[in-house]
Structure 1
Amino acid sequence: MALHDLKDVYHDMLQDLYSACKQSLDATTELGRHAKNDDVQKALKNGATGIADGMEALTGLCNDHGLDPEGEHCKGMEGLVAEARAHAIKEDFGDADARDAMIIAQYQRMVHYALAGYGTLVAFANRLGLDGDAAVLEKCLDETYDGDRHMTQIATHGINKAAA
């Protein structure tokens, strides 16, 4: 599909972010199964719920625009998911806290990709005068930031110290 204007770019990015979320949902669930710390497990479970909620919101926006949410495959998230699996799951660790620190790091890399996607989509929706879309996306962005900040607190107030 040729991208002729900002609306075309916006539509493409909606689908791309849906794909990114779908891939990160599976990886987040998998990371949660390998985490040992209860707080990390709970945060990843909440993260998976948030990702699923974001996918639902993106599906609604795609449907509103006559788009198939699965119309794109996000290669960027594909790479981040591969990295997360390689470094946090398949890697050998002599210490559970060190693995949990790596799990947090890899999860946050995926989250930061989503933050960039949501932030960009908010800006595009605002420029296009899609106030309803912007409000939905802003909510997703805020919730993603909240989850990221919570995971940072878990890391900085416990896991990183224990792993050191």
Structure 2
Amino acid sequence: MIIRSQRKYRKTIVYFLSKYQPEQVWEFLIHPKYIEEFTKDPCFYNKIESDFKIEKGAYWVEVHTGEDCSGDIVKCQIVQSDINKRLRTVRYQAGIKNSSTYELNKLDQGTLISEEQKFSISFRDFKGINIVSWIMMITGLLTRFSFKPDEDLYWFKKMENAIFQNINKV
């Protein structure tokens, strides 16, 4: 369940409470092979190398197929990985740097998960049209239109269901 969410001009934070422990949640929350599967109406697909590991320096590629970003190829790189505790990634798209941090805090009744998304201006692969993205980010419109708690809740429920099924197939 989502227990709290915040939207600021260039940052969003969502807190989930999972009934499972961090070691049960970790791979389902973090591994990119689940991102597309758990996403409501995905407008992308992930390319993941067969030897991919959740460790600093590893990356996967999102290939975007949606109307607004068709053809965008986005490299998502892991910049910090503390197993069952914290993961930080960075990605660049449309003149925006998106830094994501996932933290898992063990509780008696499960795990408190926080997901923080920070947006900043990037000159990587700059195109003139990226100025529109910058204006959206600076005015807070980017987080307003990209932050959808109902889709986060859908994703979270799919993740919880996958964990449940994984536990019960043993």
**How would you bin the TM-score normalised by the shorter chain?**
under 0.3
User: Which of the pair is proportionally richer in helix?
Assistant: 1
TM-score for both structures, normalised by structure 1: 0.27
User: Which of the pair is proportionally richer in strand?
Assistant: 2
